[in-house]
Structure 1
């Protein structure tokens, strides 16, 4: 019995050791990797998703305290929550506490508990909340700061599931879901900032069928559409923010 328990304990330990994420050794400068220029590798619908994020915590930084730029020692940065993940997605960290000590290279992992399905198609904005702990702070001794990282999103489509990042210049049309559409649908697009946006629908002869002007929000934007009065057929829809314009096709069936 003792041998069986020992073997079981060893197997469980090996499993959890293998389940931990692994920092990417190619990154050496403080930051979160992959960064905005790289993005993360795609995953496929009906296949498991797992992606490691390398976190390199600096030993010190400069913060503004009482109007003065002061250099402080970073004790640690903790990932306190991750919200907005697609259904049946989760995260874990190495170390398991999700506390990253200053001057270390650690990691976090995003993964699917259940393979993404067609019902999960859409765009999911992800929000990472962190708390930084600093010491050797002039006048204060210690210092705590909460931050929000909100420039990631996960897109799940019929073919792939990809996590991306956006900046102020981002303007990207994700698509209409479902497509083909019977009556009701929704369009989703990503905007890097708040601004005037125009959405239009045309028939294949180029005649404008519908037009909307509105103020987009920074992040993932979702707009509901009603195709119940549209005759069956193929239509073109476009979205324009004054700098970029995207056009795609939608099929209406009743």
Structure 2
């Protein structure tokens, strides 16, 4: 009996660890982030995968009826199914039962239950179905089913100059997109869990952005909003106190 209880505790502990996520506070407009312009992070063979998806549900919108726009209040949007995931990948939602209330900011996490292998290399189309419940003030809820099928997840061999991760791995990836207009995706690979200091400087040496990031072994990703910065060439860097790497970012609005 004790052995069974221990197994159950381990299973639930793993479930709750995987389900934890924090919405990215830089996104404020209703939508799903990363959006299709940024895309999902690639999964890399032999490395753990963890992608946080920020979901900002609108509170109200309008629908057309006989060519006339009718304002409606969104009660909730429910994620009813999620298919197309690669082998040994799963998802979970911060919102209970993946039901996102209108006007709420929440998140979901897409993660690997074991590291991808070379047999998993390829592009996977992710298909999500949702049900939206809205109120048009008629006393009868309006429901609408939708399909989200424009996200792809690629599993690739590492494009890094290193072919494996050990305790000394420390690599800053090229920024995407570059030139960047608003949100830049920045990735780096670490050999151990660590805190990383990120800084962005202009060519005058002035620091225009910095943050301390709690990071994990493997591929780490975060986003920098540069929409308020002037066009030009910038240098972005990461350091763990012992190592530092710097790359070039071009901002073009």
TM-score, normalization by structure 1: 0.55
- 2:157 aligned with 1:158, yes or no? yes
Distance between the aligned counterparts of 1:11 and 1:123, measured in 2?
Answer: 32
- Look up the match of 2:81: 81
Q: Which runs of 4+ in 1 moved over 4 A?
A: 8-18
Asked if 2 retains the 8 angstrom alpha-carbon contact of 1:137 and 1:143, the reply is: no
- Structure 1 CA distance, aligned partners of 2:118 and 2:96? 32
- Secondary structure class of the residue paired with 1:143: strand
Structure 2 stretches of 5 or more lacking a match? 160-253
Which whole-Å CA distance do the structure 1 matches of 2:12 and 2:107 have between them? 19
Distance in 1, matches of 2:136 and 2:123, equals 42
Q: Residue 157 of structure 2: SS of its match in structure 1?
A: coil
**1:81/1:135 CA distance change after superposition, 3 Å:** same
**Count of residues paired in the alignment:** 156
**Paired residue for 2:110?**
110
Match of 1:252 in 2: none
Q: 1:12 to 1:123 in 2, by over 3 A?
A: closer
Structure-2 change in CA distance of 1:11 and 1:87 (3 Å):
closer
Q: Distance in 1 between matches of 2:11 and 2:114?
A: 21
CA contact (8 A) 2:55 2:107 kept: yes
For residues 71 and 98 of structure 1, the distance between their equivalents in structure 2, rounded to whole angstroms, comes to: 25
Unaligned runs of 5+ in 1: 161-254
Determine if contact 1:80/1:130 at 8 Å carries over to the other structure: yes
The SS at the match of 1:119 is helix
Instruction: Return closer, same or farther for 1:119/1:32 CA change in 2, 3 Å cut-off.
Output: same
Q: Secondary structure at the match of 2:97?
A: coil
Larger Rg belongs to: 1
Show CA shifts across 1:23-76 (max 9, x none). 111111110001122223333211111101000001100112343210000000
1:41–1:145 CA distance, 2 compared to 1 (3 A):
same
- Rounded Cα–Cα distance in structure 2 between residues aligned with 1:121 and 1:18: 26
Matched position secondary structure for 1:97: helix
**Tell me, what secondary structure is at the counterpart of 2:96?**
coil
Quote how far apart the aligned CAs of 1:115 are: 1.0
Structure 1 residues 89 and 12: alpha-carbon distance in aligned structure 2, compared to 1, 3 A threshold: closer
1:106-125 deviation line (CA, Å, top 9, x unaligned): 11111111211011111111
Matches within 5 A, 1:78-157: 78-138=78-138, 141-157=140-156
Q: Which one has the bigger strand percentage?
A: 1
- 1:136 deviation in Å? 3.1
Contact 1:70 1:137 in 2 (8 A): no
In the alignment, the residues of structure 2 paired with residue 9 and residue 156 of structure 1 have an alpha-carbon distance, to the nearest angstrom, of: 31
